[in-house]
Structure 1
């Protein structure tokens, strides 16, 4: 008997209304694959980029990069998972907005019993992003200072807590006083309402004119110039998203003039592309959550058939913390 699973797909790029909920047949996993039945699915800005075509996909295509559930079947060669295991992932290719799917197993991670499915679905992409930002792209040490944009979002609230747990001074930015307070409550040392203050000037003031060691910027176009102006000489700008639009072309000479600055554009999927590295990074994230250093805050829940409303809330900057879809 063929098993069907409700799945969100797009047949053309565009707004939230382009997403359709359809029934898709599920097969058996092939070599290196598993079939997972979701208990919760994550929502992330990369899903918006893929839906709009900013990050093009071959069409038609399912959406979603993050989920958690139970392993139903295991293909040949998969040794780190078995039928009945709790698991969570962020992984290529997209397709997590569904009740169940067959997918590559390498980036699917055994989920500890102390972490719920909702937490697992809300934390993998965001938490692994913080792990690579803090420990791989620019390995931070106690006493370092970081400017983190969108500090009240899903990635930002994890970053605030992670920074506090490791003695890192995190200066956040957010678009409302309420969001700034949320970031402060989660461990930010300072949080600046970018609608009210020139954040680059305020960062200079807070750092005694020196600037920060590193800026972590997922906002993009609207914050890029101010991010460069917030750095100390030899500092690094990590541009890891573009919620406000793509960063315009950069004259590399500006980096020299501003103090031999460094700019990089990493992605989580490069960092977790190797199976062993992915599992190690996930283990580090799980330790942070199980120890209580990092709590996964889920502020919005939408049924799978209301995925368009979830996207509108995310794009409208109406969300805080993480958002999950309920299959």
Structure 2
């Protein structure tokens, strides 16, 4: 994978690599791309999902960079781009995602599920959510939940807070770039908004980003493999059932803010075969929602 234009070098510290005071926080050590490659990339590039892992010190958005590389033909399926700091990270609806350098995991993965019917590709963000929650549960010992469609929730002081998010973007006709952002070691005073959280604030047994990243990527490889083998079928792959089991939105009264300034209020009762959230309204109508902003109106 060619390094994205404008990205700065590997923060793990090669000869002559520029360093500054803000990179000297020993409680937040840099990631080592060589060690990550050894752990995740199979010898010869065969037999596994990942073909390369690149760590850059600072960039605007790993999703933007990886989409551009894919469109130019400079990135293959399984390319992983990680940034120690993002200056223009985005969530859904173009919301800004900011965090101090090395305080989280900010990375993107290029997937090319060409053998899966395109109608099933909408499951990729939900699949990634399951993979992230599973990997973090194993490596960080934190109880996580998923807010439909793509938020990772943790419990801090008895309240639900967002600690991560997922953004999927098409990269031409054959590829999808999945961007993942996870707040790992952010302290209360560093949170961008009061409703945000982090693994550290949720009582994680470890905030070492290296094993956390490996666990998430291995979990993603496992779930992506199951889904592809099932032809993208969310039921046959076990994805639909697993997502529903970990989804904090189901069973809640929610408000869906839909395109066109329309909203729907009701109980979230299911995630259907297309990955849409089904909302049962007071009028007895079950309305599937495929895109929109979901607000939880009452706690679990």
- More helix, by proportion: 1
Rg larger in structure? 1
